[in-house]
């Protein structure tokens, strides 16, 4: 009986062990060697493949297939890649990651050809709010407040027709911004539109609302539907200071008093200069007569002139160089780079001489009565006002949060 009992226990143990063995799952070995990396300056995906012993034929096929979904001409350093190479040293799968959202996969099929696929992360959209008071420059204040630099630039672009952020902001001015952020697993991967932007201070009280009717109306508007976009930019460059204003002055070179028919913006050599309005180039080259006398040599130096609608012209003088592919007769859009700050012609240092002419008469750019773009169409006003009310509630919430952070 005792032996029978011991035999029974042994059978139970064997059955238990056999059952446990059946529950163990053994993962198959990874059939690939993995190569991870990022593009470096001067290297292309094609050259990376060759560096990893991929044949010329396969490298050509892979890049050709990938180009169907992603144009490799737009590749840049730090684009990621992941190669999966089999035990025979043949690349089977290539993953190309130009950003944190998109993944392009080129895989070898059963016929030894390649197919390309695109995977995109599903992102969560959040509406974020920020209100802050200027303590230094707009850029430093907003970045210190947690705003991404690209959103700071978008914020300044909204008000670029009304505010010159190099001379107008004052310490104590208040900024509010409502924007879209897209994240994955808590990490913000990209930003969307600025839905609302507000700038209030000693000189300005401006609030802009983003509106898109899904058709032909898109942009920033005041709460009564007037467009923030104007015919002319406040200034055609990022400058250090205004070195000479419009009006009579003693010319620094001729030592004679005559009309300075524009504004001189002092800026570092090579600073990009943009067209202040849409138009067509009517002059590109050396131009004398600075500022008004005829027959003088030198003068404006390297100069661009652009004709705009309603009898307006603009002149950009003392340029160091022109942008490539600029020519007389070319159509130019507002904000498009046309040249770079220099000191050519009659000049004592790097700056831009900027003149606006109305019917060939020079007028003061700083006192220009700027014209707004098209307003919200009447048929879209109800939809627009619903958006305004929604944004206003978010502004109130943002300002309330800001005050609580100060006063508790």
pLDDT at residue 297 in the model = 52
Domains within the chain, CATH numbers bracketed: 33-120 (3.10.450.350), 122-230+375-408 (3.10.450.350), 241-367 (2.70.70.10)
Question: What are the pLDDT digits (tens) for 276-314?
Answer: 999 999 999 998 765 444 444 558 889 999 999 888 999
pTM for the whole structure: 0.66
pLDDT at residue 8 in the model = 58
Q: What percent of the chain has pLDDT over 70?
A: 87
CA atoms of 197 and 373, how far apart (whole Å): 18
Question: What are the pLDDT digits (tens) for 41-97?
Answer: 888 899 989 988 889 899 999 999 999 999 998 898 999 999 998 888 888 999 999
What mean pLDDT is reported for the chain? 85
Cβ burial 256-267 (10 Å sphere, 16+ → b, else e): eeeebbbbbbbb
Question: What are the pLDDT digits (tens) for 245-265?
Answer: 755 554 555 555 455 678 899
pLDDT at residue 345 in the model = 85
pLDDT band at 373 (very low <50, low <70, confident <90, very high): confident
Q: Structure tokens of 345?
A: 């012609």
pLDDT at residue 3 in the model = 59
Q: What phi, psi does 403 have (nearest 5°)?
A: -65, -40
Question: What are the pLDDT digits (tens) for 165-199?
Answer: 877 888 889 999 999 999 988 889 899 999 999 99
User: What is the sign, positive or negative, of the torsion defined by CA atoms of 376, 381, 384, 389?
Assistant: positive
């Amino acid at each position: 009986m005792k032996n029978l009992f011991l035999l029974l226990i042994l059978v139970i143990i064997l059955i238990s062990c056999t059952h446990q063995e059946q529950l163990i799952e053994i993962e198959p070995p990874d059939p690939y060697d993995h190569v991870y990396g990022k593009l470096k300056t001067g290297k292309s995906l094609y050259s990376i493949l060759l560096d990893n012993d991929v044949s010329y034929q396969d490298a050509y096929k892979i890049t050709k297939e990938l180009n169907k979904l992603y144009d490799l001409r737009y590749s840049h350093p730090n684009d990621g890649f992941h190669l999966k190479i089999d035990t025979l040293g043949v690349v089977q799968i290539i993953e190309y990651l130009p950003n944190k959202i998109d993944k392009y996969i080129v895989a070898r099929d059963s016929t030894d050809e390649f197919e390309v696929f695109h995977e995109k992360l599903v992102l969560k959209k959040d509406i974020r709010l920020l209100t802050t008071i200027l303590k230094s420059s707009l850029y430093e204040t907003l970045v210190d407040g947690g705003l991404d630099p690209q959103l700071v630039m978008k914020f300044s672009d909204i008000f670029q027709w009304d505010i010159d952020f190099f001379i107008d902001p004052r310490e104590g001015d208040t900024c509010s911004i409502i924007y879209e952020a897209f994240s994955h697993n808590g990490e913000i991967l990209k930003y969307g539109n600025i839905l609302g932007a507000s700038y209030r201070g000693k000189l300005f009280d401006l609030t802009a609302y983003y509106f898109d009717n899904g058709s032909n109306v898109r942009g920033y508007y005041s709460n009564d539907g007037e467009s923030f976009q104007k015919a002319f930019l406040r200034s055609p460059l990022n400058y250090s200071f205004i070195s000479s204003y419009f009006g009579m002055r003693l010319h620094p070179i001729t030592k004679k008093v005559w009309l300075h028919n524009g504004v001189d913006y002092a800026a570092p050599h090579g600073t990009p200069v943009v067209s202040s309005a849409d138009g067509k180039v009517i002059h590109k080259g050396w131009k004398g007569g600075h500022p008004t006398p005829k027959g003088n040599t030198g003068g404006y130096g390297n100069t661009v002139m652009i004709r705009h609608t309603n009898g307006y012209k603009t002149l950009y003088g003392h340029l160091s160089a022109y942008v490539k592919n600029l020519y007389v007769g070319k159509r130019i859009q507002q904000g498009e780079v046309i040249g770079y700050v220099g000191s050519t012609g009659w000049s004592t240092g790097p700056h831009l001489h900027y003149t606006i002419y109305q019917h060939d008469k020079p007028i003061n750019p700083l006192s220009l009565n700027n014209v707004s773009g098209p307003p919200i169409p009447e048929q879209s006003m109800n939809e627009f006002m619903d958006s305004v009310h929604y944004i206003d509630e978010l502004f109130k919430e943002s300002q309330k949060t800001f005050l609580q952070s100060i006063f508790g």
